[in-house]
A and B are shown apart, each in its own frame.
Chain A
Amino acid sequence: MMEIAPERAEPVDFLTTARDLLPEGASYEACIACGLCASGCPASGLYGMDPRRFIRMAMLGLNEELAGTPWVWTCTQCKRCAYICPMGIDVSVLVGIARGGWPRDKKPKGIMRSCEAQMRDDSTSAMGLRSADFIEIIAETVDEIREGDKRFKNLTAPIDKAGAEFVVNQNSREPAVEPEELGPLWKIFDYVGVSWSYTSKGWAAENFCMFTGDETSWKEMVKTRVEAINALGAKTWINTECGHSFYTMWKGIERFGLEADFEAGNLISFYAKWIREGRLPVNSDWNRDNLKFTVQDPCQLVRKSIGDPVADDLRFVARKLVGEGNFVDMQPCRSANYCCGGGGGFLQAGMNEQRRAYGKRKFDQIIATKAQYVLTPCHNCHSQMSDIGGYYGGKYHVVHFWTLICLSLGILGPNERKYLGPELACL
C-alpha cells in the first residue's frame, strides 16, 4: 500500500528547506504534538499519514520517507491544519517541498499532463485549448446567444480590449467542453453593464503547475497572465468562478516578486456589490418549493486568500438568491470549512479511492444540511462534490452561482441548465 517513490531526484532536508519558506517567527519546532491538525484533516489516515505525523517525521529527520510518501498528493494543501493549529503550523509548505522533489516521471500523470499542457503555449490552458481556438469558440458562442435570446442581441465577449475595467481569466472547462456554460456569466456582465475583456494570451484560469510542486512553471504561468493583463491596463483582474487559480495568481505574484499593475478582484464579491447596488436585482421568487441550498466555501478563495469577508459575500449572494429560510450552512464553514477533496490537483491525480475517502467528510457535511443543492464558485469543488455525491449515493445537485443568478433574473437559456435538477430545469 505504501510504495516509496524510487529514485529521488535529490535528497531534501525538510526542516532546513522549510525554514527558508516560512514566514518570520513561524517554526515547525513549535509543534506541541497535540494532534488538532490531524484530527481536523480529511487526508488523515490515507497512506497511514496525517499532518501531525508529517511534522513529527520531519522533526525525526525521516526525510527519505517524507520524500517518498504518496500521501503528499492526497494533501490538498488546503491549510486547514494551519487554521486549527494554535502554533499556526502550516503542513502544506512541507507538502509542497515534497511534491517538488518527486521525479517528474513519478508524479501523478494527470497533474503533470495538465501542467505540461499549460506550458505548451501562451494560452496557459490546462486542457490544451490554443488561443486561436479559444477566440473562435468565444465568437461562435457569442453568436449563438445573440441569436437565441433577443435580449442579448448586443452581447459581447471582448478579447484584448484595452482600457476595459475588468480583465477576466476564463477556466478552460467551459470553452473546451461545455461552451454553453459560458453564457450565464456573460449575460450577467451584460446585464450589469460592466466593461470587461478576456486576454488572448494567458487567458486561462487554472494553474496545475503549482500543484506539481514545480515552482518554475508556476511562475511561468503567472507571468504570462500578468503580462497580458498589464498590457490591457485594466484596473481589476477577476477569474470565472474558480478557487485555485485565484490563489496561485496572487500568491505567485507575491512569491516571485512580479510587477502587477492591477488589483485582484473576485467575482463573488462583485456579485454581492452589484446586488447591493441594485444592478443585479436577484430574488428568490423562483424557489417556490423552498428547495434548500448550502454553500461550499472554496479553501483557495476563503481560508487561503481573503478570509471571512468573502465568505460573508458568498452567503449574502446565496441568501438573496435562494431565500433567507432556504439557506443552510455546512458545519464547519467559512474560514474553518473542510476542503472538498478535489483541490491541490487531487481530482487529476488518479487516486480516486483516496480522493473519495477524503471527500467522505464533505459528503457527510452536505448530507447533514439536508440541502438539495450545493452552490459553489469553484470548478474543482463542483466536480468533486458531484463525484462524491454520485459515489456515496447523495441526492443533491451542485450548481454555479451564475446559473442561479440568471435563473432568478429570468435570463437563463434552456441549454444552460445542465447542472440543475429537473424541478428547476423546467422553470
Chain B
Amino acid sequence: MKRRQRRIKTKLAVIGAGLSGFSAAIFALKRGIKTTLLGHTGALAYTTGYLDLLGARRGRLLDDPWAGLAALREDEPEHPLARLGNDEIKDAFACFTAALRDMGIGYSMPGALNRMVLLPAGIRKPTLCVPDTMLAGMEAADRRAKTLILDFAGLAGFSAAEFKANFLTTWPAITVQKIQFPGMEHGQVFPEVMARALEVPSLYAELARRISPRLDGARYVGLPAILGMHAPDEVHAAMERLLGLPVFEIPTIPPAVPGIRLRELFERALPETGLELEPQLKVQRADLRPDGITLYLHGPMEDLEVESEAVILASGRFLSGGLKAGHETLSEPLLGLPLYQPGARKDWYRREYLDRRGHRINRAGVKTDTDLRPLGGDGAPVNTRLFAAGSLLAHQDWVRQRCGTGLAIATALRAVKSAQAILS
C-alpha cells in the first residue's frame, strides 16, 4: 500500500508547540499571516501557569522586572531579552494575555511591578501575569488573612501542612484540611483527572458541599490547581459562588493542570482562528532554500511536506528535544545549527548544584542576529527565511532568572515581525 502523501503550502511555519511556538502563532495570525504549527508535547505541559518576565537576577528576587531588564542590558547585552525594548516586551505580554482571555482563560495584565505568587511548597515567587484562578492567593497572603488550605487524599506531592509550615512566620493564619475528592476516594488521584471531572456541575457542587463545613471562619480557600481543564474560570467562579468566599488555586508539581490547560486551550482555540495545526508530529528534516523552506514530517500513515516562505524554530531545549547533548558537544538536531557551546562537558555544570551563578549549559543555545535569524559558523544568517525564538536561544538562563514566558513570547513576537518583513 502506498503511504499517503500530504502537502501543505503556508506562509509561516512554526516548529514547536511550546509557549514560544503558540505565541508566535497568535502574533502571526493577528497579523493575518497564514500560519502552520508543527509540534509535539514539551516543557509547556509542566508549567505552573504563571507568566514570568524577569523574576530573579544573580540569585536575588526582583520586584521590578523593568528595572531588572535595564540592568540586564548593561551586564548581559547578549541576553535575548536585553536585545528587545520594553515596549516590545510589554506588547508581547499584553497581546498574549488578551489572546488567552479571548480564548477562555483569564489572566491579569502586565503591570509595572512583579507580583508575588504562591508556589506549592509554601513559598512565593515574582511573576508578571497571573491566571485569574490564582489571583486571590496573593491577596490572602498579603493580608495574612485567615485561609483554609485544602489538600486531597491520594494526591502525592501536594501537602497543605507543608504549605502552612513554610508560611509559619509570614502567614500564620492558615488552617489545613485533607479531604477526599468526590468519586476518587481511593488510590492515587491526579490533578488532571480531578480538573476534568470538575467540568461537570454536579461534581463541583459536591466538592463545595464537602468543603463548606470545614471553613471555620476562613476568609479565603486555597486548593491545588484542579478547578477545571478547559473552562477553569467558570469552575472557579462557581466554587466562589457556592462557598461564598474567594477561592484560589496553587500550582502543583508535574504532572499538573496549568500546563495541560494551556496546551489544550491552544490546540482547541487556535485552529478556530485559522491556525493549521499538526499537534502530534515532529519535524524530521528541513530543506532550506533561498526561495523557501520545506519541512518533512512522518505521521503514522502519511508523509507530510510543509512548504513555507518563512520558518520560526521554537523547539525548546533538552526536555523538548530542541537541543541534544552528546558526550562531548551540544547540538541542535533538526537543522544542525551551530550553537553557543559552554566549553567541554566538565564545564557544562558547576560543581555545586545551587550555585547562584547558574550552570553554564543553560546559556548554551542558538545564536542569532537582532532579527532572530540563526547565525551560521561564519557569523552570517544561515538562511534569510529562518528565525528562532524561545528557550533554545543562547545567552540566557530562564530557570534561574525566572524569565521563561517572557523569553518565549517576546522573542516570538520579534521573530514574527522579522518574518513578516520578508513575506511576499
Contact = CB atoms under 8 A, between A and B. Distances in A.
In the complex they form, whether A and B have CB atoms below 8 Å apart is answered with yes
Interface of A: 32, 34-36, 38-40, 44-45, 48, 50, 83-86, 88, 250-251, 253-254, 260, 262-264, 303-309, 329, 331-336, 360-361, 364-365, 367-368
A395 B6 CA distance: 40
B355 interface: no
A332 B6 contact: no
A263 B2 contact: yes
B280 A364 contact: no
B280 A38 contact: no
B191 A308 contact: no
Nearest to B281: A307
B1 A38 contact: no
Contact of B42 (A86, A309, A364): A86
B183 to A, nearest CB: 8
B6 to A, nearest CB: 7
A365 B255 contact: no
Given A36-B41, A336-B264, A303 B1 contact: no
B187 interface: yes
Given A35-B254, A305-B300, 18 more contacts: A36-B254, A39-B190, A39-B191, A39-B255, A83-B280, A86-B43, A253-B1, A263-B4, A264-B4, A304-B300, A306-B300, A307-B278, A307-B281, A308-B277, A308-B278, A331-B230, A336-B264, A361-B196
Contact of B268 (A38, A305, A331): A331
Given A39-B192, A253-B1, A34 B280 contact: no
B264 A40 contact: no
The 7 closest A-B pairs by CB, nearest first: A39-B255, A260-B1, A39-B190, A368-B199, A331-B230, A39-B192, A35-B255
A364 B188 contact: no
B162 interface: no
B229 interface: yes
Contacts of A334: 267, 279
Nearest to A52: B255
A365 B196 contact: yes
Contacts of B203: 364
A84 B41 contact: yes
B319 interface: yes
Interface of B is mostly: loop
B417 interface: no
Nearest to B43: A86
A262 B279 contact: no
Given A86-B40, A307-B278, A335-B279, A264 B267 contact: no
A250 B300 CA distance: 10
Nearest to B3: A254
A264 B41 contact: no
Interface in B255-281: 255, 260, 264, 267-268, 277-281
Contacts, number: 111
Contact of A262 (B1, B43, B196): B1
Contacts of B260: 36, 40
25 contacts: A34-B46, A39-B192, A39-B255, A40-B255, A44-B188, A45-B187, A48-B187, A50-B188, A83-B41, A86-B320, A251-B300, A254-B1, A263-B1, A264-B301, A304-B300, A305-B300, A307-B281, A308-B280, A331-B229, A332-B267, A334-B279, A361-B193, A361-B196, A364-B197, A365-B196
B206 interface: no
A309 B297 CA distance: 14
Interface residues of B, number: 43
Contacts of A263: 1-2, 4
A364 B196 contact: yes
A93 to B, nearest CB: 13
Interface in B1-59: 1-2, 4, 6, 40-43, 45-46
Nearest to B6: A309
B321 interface: yes
A202 B193 CA distance: 41
A336 B321 CA distance: 20
A55 B191 CA distance: 21
A36 B253 CA distance: 11
Contacts of A85: 41
Nearest to A36: B255
B23 to A, nearest CB: 19
B265 to A, nearest CB: 10
B1 A264 contact: yes
A66 B41 CA distance: 27
Contact of A250 (B1, B45, B230, B264): B1
A153 B264 CA distance: 49
A9 to B, nearest CB: 30
Most chain A beta-carbon neighbours within 10 Å: one of B41, B199, B267, B321: B41
A61 B47 CA distance: 32
A40 B260 CA distance: 10
Most chain B beta-carbon neighbours within 10 Å: one of A34, A361, A364: A364
Nearest to B265: A331
Given A331-B199, A368-B199, A368-B200, A303 B42 contact: no
